[in-house]
Amino acid sequence: MSAIRHALSVKREDDFAAWYQEVISAADLAEESGVRGCMVIKPWGYGIWERIQRLMDDRIKAAGVQNCYFPIFIPLANFEREASHVEGFAKEMAVVTHHRLISDGKGGLIPDPEAKLEEPLVVRPTSETIIGDAMARWIQSWRDLPLLTNQWANVVRWEMRTRMFLRTSEFLWQEGHTAHADKADALAETHRALEMYRACAEEDLAMPVIAGEKPENERFPGADETWSIEAMMQDGKALQAGTSHYLGTNFAHAAGIQYQDREGTQQFCHTTSWGVSTRLVGGVIMTHGDDDGLRVPPRIAPQQVVILPMLREKPEDEELLAYCEQVRAAVAQLSTLGEPIRVLLDKRPGKAAAKRWDWVRKGAPVIIEVGPRDMADGKVAMLRRDRLWDAASGKPAFQFITQDEFAAQISAVLEEIQHGMFNEARDRRDANITRGVTSMDAVADHFAEANTYPGWVEVQWSKPTGAALDAVVEQLKALKLTIRNVPRDAAPADGPCIFTGAPAVERILVARAY
C-alpha cells in the first residue's frame, strides 16, 4: 500500500480550524474582503449558496409562503418597543447616522454634519420589528390569516471575532415571518419550518441533523420557544444550522398585530419566524470536506460533472474538444435526483492534471478526463470525488469506461454519491453521540480527554428554569459546553437529572459548538 499525498497541506486531525480555512481558500469559496468582518463570496461558494437557495425556496413556496422584500434600514424606535428583543440585539449593530458625504478640504471625505439623520437607522440584524409593522397594516380579520411571508436578504450583526461562513458581520439568509390566529396554528408553522429545514439539510445538503427545542437560555430574544436543527461537524462540535421560533404574542403586542375574529372581537396574532443562512455552507464544508478539500453533495453542487480534455495547445485539441463536447451534450440530456445533470466542459488553458486537482479541491462530485487515446478508444476516465484514492497504488482511482457505459451509469453514480455522503455523515454522527452518561463528573471526564473528538453526550435533566438553569449553564460553560437542544424524537426520560438529582423530564444534547 503506497502513501497517499493529499491535496491540502493541513489535515483535519492535525488542526481542524486551519484545515477549515485551507478548504475555503483551496476550493476558492470565499475570501476576506478588507472590509471589517465582511467576506467576498466567490463563484464556487456562491454557486453552492444559489443551489441551497433554489432548493429551499422551492420548499418555502410549496408550503404556500410568499416572498416579499422589506427595507434594510430599521428605525431605532422599532427596537425600543420590544424589551427582550432590545436586550438580545440592540448591542452590536451597524448604525447609519448621516446621509451625505462632503469633502474634508484635504482630498478626503467626511460625513456631512448638515446631513445628520434626526433618528439614526439600524442596518437590519433581523426583521421581526419592521415586518411586524407591515403585518399590523395587512391584517384586519381572521380571513387574512395565516399570513405567510419570507424574504431573502442580507443582514448585519457586528461581530468582534469572525470566521468565514460561520460568523461574519454581514451574511445572507432567508427569514420567514408568519402570523396566525392562535397558538396551535403558530406552533404548527414553527414545526413545519423546522421539519422543512431538517429535510433540506438531510436530503439536499446530505448533512444529518437533530431537530429539537432549545433550552430557555438559548431562545431567540423575544421568543416563547426556539427550535433548532443541530449538525455534528467532523471535529465533533455542534453547528446550529437553522432555527424556528414561536414568538407568542410578544411581537404582536409590540407592533399591534391584531385581527377581528369570527365573533367580531379584536385578538392579537401569534407569530413565528425562522431562518437559515450562508452558515449552511460552513456546515457543508465541515461535514463533507476531507484532506483533499471540499466534497459537495451532488444536489447542491453548481456543477455535478466536470469534463477535462487533456489539451496540448496543438491543432489536435480541436478534435478532442469536439469529442468532449459530444460527451457533455449527451450528459446534459440526462437527469439525476429529479433535475437535469449540471455538467461543465472546462476548456480553460492549462494542464489537465492541475485542473483535475482544482476540481478535486472544489469537490465536484465526478471528474471526467479525456485524452487523445481515450478518444480513440471511445472511452473516458471517470474519477469519483467520494472514492478518490486507490488505496493499493496511492493514486487517484480512475475508472476507464466507454462513453456509453458512462452515460448509462452517471445518473445512478450521482445518486449514490448523494446518499453515500449522507450515510457516511450520519453514521459518524451516530457513533459520536454518547448516551448513558449519568453524572456531571462523567460529562467532565468525557470531554476532558485530550486530542480526541468527544462528540456530543445525551443526558437527562429536570428542565430547571431561572436561576437554577443559570447555574447549569455556568457549570457547562466552565467545560466550554452548551446545551444544544432537546431532540424532538429522543427517548422519554427515565432517570434522575444529572444537574439537580431530581427526576428528569427529558433528554438533552450537550456539546461544544460553533
The minimum distance between CB 72 and its own copies, in angstroms, equals 6
The minimum distance between CB 349 and its own copies, in angstroms, equals 6
Cα 171 → chain centroid: 11
The minimum distance between CB 299 and its own copies, in angstroms, equals 19
The minimum distance between CB 252 and its own copies, in angstroms, equals 17
Cβ atoms of 367 and 383 closer than 8 Å:
yes
In the complex with its own copies, which residue's Cβ is closer, 66 or 438? 66
Non-local (6+) Cβ contacts of 215 within 8 A are: 463, 469, 483, 485, 486, 508
In the complex with its own copies, which residue's Cβ is closer, 45 or 487? 45
In the complex with its own copies, which residue's Cβ is closer, 93 or 286? 93
Q: What are phi and psi of 132, to 5 degrees?
A: -55, -40
In the complex with its own copies, which residue's Cβ is closer, 161 or 348? 348
Cβ atoms of 297 and 359 closer than 8 Å:
no
In the complex with its own copies, which residue's Cβ is closer, 8 or 48? 48
Binding site for its own copies (CB under 8 A): 31, 33-36, 38-43, 46-47, 49-50, 66-76, 79-80, 86, 90-101, 107-111, 120-123, 130, 133-134, 137, 143, 149, 153-154, 156, 158, 170, 172, 348-350
In the complex with its own copies, which residue's Cβ is closer, 94 or 490? 94
Which helix H or strand E contains 383, and what residues bound it? strand 379-384
In the complex with its own copies, which residue's Cβ is closer, 150 or 272? 150
- How far is the C-alpha of 423 from the C-alpha of 433, rounded, in Å? 16
The minimum distance between CB 481 and its own copies, in angstroms, equals 29
In the complex with its own copies, which residue's Cβ is closer, 93 or 341? 93
C-alpha cell recorded at residue 30: 470565499
Residue 315, CA distances (Å) to 309, 311, 319 in order: 14, 10, 8
**Closest among 238, 289, 262 to 433, alpha carbons compared:** 238
The alpha carbons of the chain give a radius of gyration, in whole angstroms, of 26
The minimum distance between CB 143 and its own copies, in angstroms, equals 6
CA atoms within 13 A on the CB side of 418: 20
The minimum distance between CB 95 and its own copies, in angstroms, equals 4
- How far is the C-alpha of 138 from the C-alpha of 150, rounded, in Å? 15
In the complex with its own copies, which residue's Cβ is closer, 138 or 400? 138
What is the rounded (10 degree) CA torsion for 265, 266, 267, 269? 130
Work out the burial of residue 368: count CB atoms within 10 Å of its CB; fewer than 13 is exposed, 13-18 middle, 19 or more buried. buried
**Closest among 79, 446, 51 to 284, alpha carbons compared:** 51
**DSSP letter for each residue of 448-470:** HSTTS---EEEEEE----HHHHH
In the complex with its own copies, which residue's Cβ is closer, 99 or 395? 99
- How far is the C-alpha of 170 from the C-alpha of 41, rounded, in Å? 11
* Region class of 286: left (phi > 0), else alpha (psi between -120 and 50), else beta: alpha
The minimum distance between CB 78 and its own copies, in angstroms, equals 9
The minimum distance between CB 490 and its own copies, in angstroms, equals 38
In the complex with its own copies, which residue's Cβ is closer, 347 or 480? 347
The minimum distance between CB 306 and its own copies, in angstroms, equals 15
The minimum distance between CB 402 and its own copies, in angstroms, equals 30
Non-local (6+) Cβ contacts of 477 within 8 A are: none
**DSSP letter for each residue of 4-30:** P--SSSS-TTT-HHHHHHHHHHHTT-E
